[in-house]
Structure 1
Amino acid sequence: MDDEFLNRTKDTTFSPVFILGLHRSGTTILYRMLNETRNFDVLTLYHVLNFDRLLYDSVNNVVDGEKRKINQELHEKGITNRKTDDVAVTSEYEHEYVYVFSERDYPRKLTEDNKELFELLCKKIKYLSGDGKPLLLKNPYDYGNFLFIKKMYPHAKFVFIQRNPLDVISSTMKLWKTRLKVRDEFVCLYSKESVAMYRNPLLLLCYRLFFTLRFPIGVFEVFWRVKTGADYYLKNIHDLPRTDYISIRYEDLCEKPNQVITHVLQFLGMKSEKKFNGYIKPRKLKLEPEVSFLNKFIYKRMKAYFDTFGYKP
């Protein structure tokens, strides 16, 4: 629906700021907190679901109506938050650009193949916003891809968020167990792969065997992905100019949110009066049994990352 309006974005520019971290490292809550400072434009659920008609919606003044439709669908399906962590969701939910890629069968991380699609997405968001704010984006799949991104977008800035690998792996396993127990209607709104999984009993059984047995072998795949991302970060982070990135810890964000958010904003030359006291509710974390069992195995193979960020096994 947008084809006839694409020329409207030809002179639109964007200044990207990437939030990058491992899956389940806290990128979602950081994205939401930074968005609430009102310093950025962000990618929302509305942008993801209506990507092919964003310009049409704007030109025809139906943006608000389309957002109401999404909120109505969420209401009808009983969706108020993400099952995996209780993060509230509406049409304004801060989303990941990976789903613009994957729904069109492109790689999940930024590549030469999907670069044009990514830039079109960014231009559409900026065209709709009509302001000069930086564009804040996140995609955990790009945590191990920041040198390519920097090469493509030399002026890009990066906000890295780190988290204890044991908690990352445990949280990922818990996510899969929750998602495989019963159909996740929210994920099915924007992920055709999830819809296909739930519709195929054999495929669903394979996922359940992989991730939900008493000792699921899927934990090793999750560990490998976490280790691969962490190794890439440690090996390549020094190739990024120190003025182009900041790295924070999820644990510090939870303990002293105002200080950490202020630190991030200062790095980006911004400020905000927004306070986040009590924003993140303390949760007693208990490692999934398989992660607890592999504690020493994981620590031994990721000791450099543990030591770099002050984590203990």
Structure 2
Amino acid sequence: MTDPAAKPPRKQKANAYPWYSPRIWHGMRFRPWMRLLARHHFALHPLRIGMAVLVTPFTVFNSLAYRLQLALHGEKIAAATPHTPMVFIVGHWRSGTTFLHELMSLDEAYTSPSTIQCFGPCQFLLIGDFVSRWFNFIMPSTRPMDNMKVGWSKPQEDEFALLALGAPSPYYRMAFPDHPAEGTEFLDMEGIDEADLAKWRETLDQFVRMITVQRDKPIILKSPTHTGRIGLLSEMYPDAKFIHIARNPLEVFASTERLWQTMDEIQSFQHPKNPQYRQYIFDCFDRMYGGYFRDVDKLGPDRLVETRYEDIVADPVGELEKIYAALGLGDFEQVRPQMEAATAESRSFQRNKHQMEDDLAAEIYRRWSQYFERYGYAADGTLVEEKPKAE
């Protein structure tokens, strides 16, 4: 039987993304940008050379702005002490991490990295407020892979900031998707060179301190890439809290396939000929959840809570109240009205629909059986009567 992971994905049209809208590479510094191109021997598709040419002057500006930012704010950044508790929202791509992040960002007792902070970490302390106020017109109205609203002030994934600052990241794969994927070891933090690991830790901590300088509150961070890093993150931030969100694995797989296809259309400097999305999804899952299941039982119930997307959609306020109580995140009653208003509005949100071949669904169940069983999903992705308790 043909391996369903090797079958080419169905071509799906991404939502419109204007050519002038920011790409993740626009936030990089010049030296990491040049290193990225050199690692891939400048294998730019002729139709993407223009995009690379446009990115380059931004990286020069970012390098200069970064030096100025450190000159003006370096002492404050070094002296900043992140507030506790820091909160990390983790889970596979397309499992609802963004939805949960946006709900929790309504709590004014906390702050979350914004799009301008994550896409412009080299200069947001200098010009972030100016860009957020006057340059919203260059942002698309919704994300390219789904229908969620975007904007400079909206909560954003901190992995983009780490990449822009030069830390090793699996997201570098998007630049040259026809080449062997790089950075997957940073999904479980296994087999990493000590210098690269030190660079990664230093970059994350610096970004956290930069946010603290600008917004003196506990921080809620969200990134699927942190899922297999919970052990390391709990060591770096001993008081940190973690929220893991699961979702119907068949929906997660199909939606992630669309995600990578869409991101490659927008972010890539190639026109992928053989990206092997399905095998890449399986490989990333093995890394992410190998790391997650390795360390999850080391964190007590007062530090880590597991929830499901379906439970949050069914009763968002009730599920968030349980999360707040379990992790001791503060008085939920103070934020209940904002949560109720936001979730009432979100009920009209239109989610993408996906179809899947039977042989691929069977292969996902075979490879991801631990995930299905731990979070209470049947082989067809439907919920069992009650979510099993974690062992």
Which among 148, 164, 168 is matched to residue 87 of structure 1? 148
TM score, norm. by length of structure 1: 0.80
TM-score by length of 2: 0.65
Q: Distance in 1 between matches of 2:262 and 2:126?
A: 37
Residue equivalent to 2:135: 70
Question: What secondary structure is seen at the aligned counterpart in 2 of 1:158?
Answer: strand
Counterpart AA for 1:293: D
**Alpha carbons of 1:118 and 1:235: their partners in 2 closer, same or farther (altered >3 Å)?**
closer
Q: Specify the alignment match of 2:234 in structure 1.
A: 150
Partner of 1:245: 304
Match of 1:140 among 219, 224, 231: 224
Three-state SS of the structure 2 residue aligned to 1:160 is: strand
The 8 Å contact of residues 82 and 88 in structure 1, kept in 2 or not, is answered as yes
**What does the per-residue CA deviation read over 1:253-308, in whole Å, with 9 as the maximum and x for residues that have no partner?**
11111111112222233212221235244757644435x43111221222222111
Q: What corresponds to 2:203 in structure 1? A: 117
Q: Distance in 2 between matches of 1:231 and 1:174?
A: 23
- 4+ residue runs of structure 1 moved beyond 6 angstroms? none
The answer on 1:8 being equivalent to 2:8 is: no
> Is 1:99 the counterpart of 2:165 in the alignment?
no
Query: Are the counterparts in 2 of residues 71 and 91 from structure 1 also a CA contact under 8 Å?
Result: yes
Q: How does 1:162-177 map to 2 (within 5 A)?
A: 162-177=246-261
Q: How does 1:170-249 map to 2 (within 5 A)?
A: 170-180=254-264, 183-184=265-266, 194=267, 197=268, 200=269, 203-206=270-273, 209-210=274-275, 217-249=276-308
Gaps of 5+ in 2: 1-67, 170-185, 190-196, 380-391
- Give the AA of the match of 1:71: N
- Give the root-mean-square deviation of aligned CA atoms: 2.2
Instruction: Indicate whether 1:279 and 2:346 are aligned.
Output: yes
Number of matched pairs: 276
Question: Which of 265-274 and 106-115 deviates more?
Answer: 106-115
Q: Unmatched 5+ residue regions in structure 1?
A: 58-62, 185-193, 211-216
Structure 2 counterpart SS, 1:205: coil
Kindly tell me: are residues 310 and 7 of structure 1, through their superposed partners in 2, closer, same or farther at Cα, counting changes over 3 Å?
Answer: same
What percent of counterpart residues are identical?
Answer: 23
| 2:103 alignment partner AA | M
Tell me the equivalent position of 1:44. Answer: 114
Once the two structures are TM-superposed, the CA of residue 6 in structure 1 deviates from its matched residue by 0.9
CA distance in 2, matches of 1:84, 1:285: 9
Match of residue 191 from structure 1: none
CA deviation map 1:169-200 (0-9, x unaligned): 110112234445xx53xxxxxxxxx2xx2xx4
For the residue of structure 2 that corresponds to 1:22, the secondary structure is coil
